[in-house]
Amino acid sequence: MSFDAWGKRRETGWLPIGANGIVAFDTKTTTRGFTGHEMIDSVGLVHMNGRIYDPEIGRFLSADPHVQAPDNLQSWNRYSYVINNPLSLTDPSGFFFSGLFRAIGNFLSSVFRAIDNVVKVALSNPIVRALLQIVGCYFAGPACPLVTAAITLGAGGSIVDALKAGAFAFASMGIFDAVGFQLDGARAALGGAFGVVKAAVHGVIGGALSVAQGGSFLQGFASNAIGALTGSVADSVTTNPLGNTLIVAAGGCAAAIVTGGKCAQGAVTAAFANLYNKFRLGSRTYLNPWDVGNDAHRTLQRELGSTHGYQSERMFSDEGAFFAGRVDLLDPARPYSQIWEIKPDDNRSIANGFAQVTGYIFAGNLTGSGFYHGDAFGGATAKSLPGEYGWYHYRLAAPGVITYNFTPDRNVFAFNFATYWAIFYATLPSQLPGVRVAVPARGGYRR
């Protein structure tokens, strides 16, 4: 079969066929002809599904109901075939010229192929895969195994490889999350040895996980132990969980290289320990302000108890004090002039805390210089500490009053605390513990 540019039958030598030759054409083998459409040779027409086309004049017998390209004048002749460009375009439906769409499709296909090639080349690098896994698991939280499996597939791994990688990620998350819970419970008892014990525990877990992956125990131990020790450096640089974890991952990578292991493996295991042990991204916690307040107290009390020897929740009831109550923090060396209340960072709480502290203190110890409280943060005026639910940002807001702001972990759903406390104070000014304000007065105190 042979056709000219407009779809009219011709001889195989490109010579024209007379009308009798067209009518006599044998259609027993197929009725399909020009661009795969049905040929109606008995009347010299082509059935293009949507409309009937006459190849003799290069026009459809009915108008196209669509104007495909209003900015192209050829498109306004709705009887023309493929905007009068049959050498470049075809029209499989009888309505739209398909060459343009095929060209667009080919272009998009080439773009996607290029992107696919770039992704494959990038994922062939184990360092890139490790970074993608760390960042992906940070944003995915408990869905980290799915991210790990997807990266494995994208790197050309089989479905079995992806399932293994996802299962290993799931196991690592669970182990580090459980260990983190146990370590937090033992933090107070371990005191200053907590960091060393944590590094050792992380190292043992990392070594076991390395062996499970076919690696060396020493390499896994070094990567995770050094990663845990790097965590203290990371805490001083940033409190952002992702930035903090990337610094820890760099420490794990360096330790793996020094011990002859793989940087990527060391980085990932150290990062997992940081994400799912320190920041506990493996589970989601629902909080209310009381949970956060208690955690804010425990976090600072634990820190200053280990670094300064300060006492916490001491009942202050010595004779001569204006009223009795539990002091949040107290320096046993200066029990009447160096005490603190820990409050949320808002004006009402600051005033409340200052009044409480004033009520605890002997009148004779209130000097013109105010309370002595400069050593709480080692001479600084602010300090950030990681707690169970996120980061607490403490500051010395007034004499004897330390306030905190709260930045929850990504896996923590919490109330808007500023709004909560505003509503709380507006509606319950003196109904619950911690809201009573004590103002010193002659002969006692008043509420």
Convert 184-207 into a string of H (helix), E (strand) and C (coil): HHHHHHHHHHHHHHHHHHHHHHHH
Q: Token match 């006599």: residue?
A: 24
| Confidence label for 424 from pLDDT (cuts 50, 70 and 90) | very low
Q: Across all residues in the chain, what is the average pLDDT?
A: 76
pLDDT at residue 445 in the model = 26
> What confidence tens digit (pLDDT) does each residue in 14-43 have?
777 766 666 566 667 778 888 878 888 778
pLDDT at residue 285 in the model = 54
pLDDT at residue 442 in the model = 30
- pLDDT over 60 at 440, yes or no: no
| Confidence label for 343 from pLDDT (cuts 50, 70 and 90) | very high
Identify which has the larger pLDDT, 283 or 29. Answer: 29
Residue 344 — φ and ψ, nearest 5°? -60, 155
> What confidence tens digit (pLDDT) does each residue in 355-390 have?
887 776 654 344 333 344 445 676 678 889 988 878
pLDDT at residue 149 in the model = 92
What are the start-end ranges of the H helices in 124-239? 126-140, 144-154, 159-190, 194-212, 217-237
Structure tokens belonging to residue 381: 């005026």
Residue 283 within a domain: no
Tell me how many domains the chain contains.
3
Strand partners, 392: 385, 406
- pLDDT over 70 at 429, yes or no: no
Q: How many helices (H) and strands (E) does the chain have?
A: 12, 14
Q: Are 108 and 132 part of one and the same domain?
A: no
Q: Are 353 and 393 part of one and the same domain?
A: yes
Q: Are 162 and 256 part of one and the same domain?
A: yes
Residue 412 — φ and ψ, nearest 5°? -115, 125
Query: β-strands 52-54, 45-47: how paired?
Result: antiparallel
Residue 342 within a domain: yes
> What confidence tens digit (pLDDT) does each residue in 152-199 have?
888 888 899 999 998 888 888 888 877 776 776 676 677 778 778 888
Q: Are 34 and 133 part of one and the same domain?
A: no
Q: Which domain holds residue 63?
A: 1-114
Identify which of 307, 305, 306, 304 has the alpha carbon closest to the alpha carbon of residue 396.
304
Helix, strand, coil share of the chain (percent; to 5): 50, 15, 35
Identify which of 273, 279, 232 has the alpha carbon closest to the alpha carbon of residue 252.
273
| Confidence label for 433 from pLDDT (cuts 50, 70 and 90) | very low
Residue 284 within a domain: no
Burial of 275 per CB tally in 10 Å (0-12, 13-18, 19+): buried
- pLDDT over 70 at 291, yes or no: yes
Euclidean distance between CA atoms 35 and 50, whole angstroms: 14
| Sign of torsion over alpha carbons 420, 393, 251, 219 | negative
Q: Which of 222, 247, 278 is the last residue of a domain?
A: 278
Euclidean distance between CA atoms 210 and 220, whole angstroms: 5
Q: Are 216 and 325 part of one and the same domain?
A: no
Report the SS3 class of residue 60: strand
Rounding to the nearest 10 degrees, give the CA dihedral for residues 263, 264, 266, 268: 160
Residue 119 within a domain: no
pLDDT at residue 411 in the model = 55
Q: Which of 66-80, 91-105, 202-216, 323-337 has the lowest mean pLDDT?
A: 91-105
Q: Are 80 and 189 part of one and the same domain?
A: no
pLDDT at residue 297 in the model = 92
Q: Are 130 and 273 part of one and the same domain?
A: yes
Percent of the chain scoring above 90 in pLDDT: 5
Q: Are 205 and 273 part of one and the same domain?
A: yes
Query: Which residues, other chains included, contact 158 with Cβ-Cβ below 8 Å and sequence gap of 6+?
Result: none
Q: Are 136 and 19 part of one and the same domain?
A: no
Q: Are 404 and 304 part of one and the same domain?
A: yes
Strands of 279-433 (E only): list them: 285-286, 311-316, 325-330, 339-344, 382-386, 390-398, 401-408, 412-413
Q: Which of 27-31, 206-210, 427-431 has the lowest mean pLDDT?
A: 427-431
pLDDT at residue 322 in the model = 44
Q: Which of 278, 307, 339 is the last residue of a domain?
A: 278
Tell me how long the chain is: 447
Q: Quick check: 206 and 218 in contact, CB under 8 A?
A: no
Q: Are 324 and 424 part of one and the same domain?
A: yes
Identify which has the larger pLDDT, 311 or 239. Answer: 311
Q: Which of 84, 114, 144 is the last residue of a domain?
A: 114
Q: What is the mean pLDDT of residues 238-250?
A: 86
Q: Quick check: 129 and 121 in contact, CB under 8 A?
A: no
Structure tokens belonging to residue 295: 């955690």
Report the SS3 class of residue 336: coil
Strand partners, 383: 394
Cα distances (Å, whole numbers) of residue 119 to 47, 129, 265, 277 = 45, 10, 20, 31
Identify which of 315, 293, 313 has the alpha carbon closest to the alpha carbon of residue 305.
313
pLDDT at residue 321 in the model = 45
| Confidence label for 300 from pLDDT (cuts 50, 70 and 90) | very high
pLDDT at residue 342 in the model = 92
pLDDT at residue 324 in the model = 54
Q: Are 360 and 428 part of one and the same domain?
A: yes
> What confidence tens digit (pLDDT) does each residue in 117-161 have?
888 788 888 888 889 988 888 888 778 889 999 998 888 888 999
